[in-house]
Copies of this chain bind each other. A is one copy, B any other.
Amino acid sequence: MAVPSSVSVPPTASPLFLREHEVRRGVELLFFGYTRLTRAIDDGLAEHGLGRAHHRALYFIARQPDLPISALLKILAITKQSLGRVLNDLADKGLVETRTGTIDRRQKLLHLTPEGVKFEAQLFEALRSGLASAYAAAGQESVTGFWRVLEGLIPAEDKAMVIALQKDI
């Protein structure tokens, strides 16, 4: 990364020192941006007696219908037990269903019910509204940069998974 030439430090200063500002700014913006964006859906979730964990599952099932449970476990990076509780809640509320896999009958493929689709769309609207206005304010070139930096934060072993999410829509 090019260091801005206008920084007024002695030429002997280490690159790490020069970068601290920019890193702290990134840490803080990520923290505030992420928490404030996700906060936008809390009310909608609370109306159904659900929490953010439920939304994360709902979101990725919406994104990749017929997702096997093992794939969702990798995406969320939580334990089977934690996910099990969340999925049971969603099934009890009639938002998520499973069907047995065809090529591997051990698998259960997850998909949303019509009510689940509706609910997820309603929550997505809150996210869309927040992100779209940030995109609009920043401009398309900034959005590209935003993506590029975030992609760089994803470890190589997870990158394929994220790209797979985005390829088929």
Contacts and interface: CB of A to CB of B under 8 A. Distances in A.
16 contacts: A1-B132, A1-B136, A25-B147, A26-B147, A29-B150, A31-B56, A32-B153, A36-B154, A36-B158, A37-B153, A134-B149, A137-B152, A138-B145, A142-B148, A143-B149, A146-B150
Given A21-B169, A30-B34, A145-B145, A135 B152 contact: yes
A32 B154 contact: yes
Interface stretch (A84-92, A94-102, A111-119, A123-131): A123-131
A152 B138 contact: yes
A149 to B, nearest CB: 4
A43 interface: no
A139 B1 contact: yes
Contacts of A128: 16, 19-20, 23
A24 interface: yes
Interface in A151-168: 151-155, 158, 162, 165-166
Interface of A: 1-2, 4, 16, 19-37, 56, 59, 63, 77, 124, 127-128, 130-155, 158, 162, 165-166, 169
How many identical chains are in the complex? Answer: 2
Nearest to A145: B145
B24 A63 contact: yes
Contacts of A21: 166, 169
Contacts of A27: 37, 59, 127, 131
B127 A23 contact: yes
Contacts of A165: 28
9 smallest CB-CB distances across A and B, nearest first, come from A145-B145, A134-B152, A142-B145, A29-B150, A33-B150, A33-B153, A146-B149, A138-B148, A1-B136
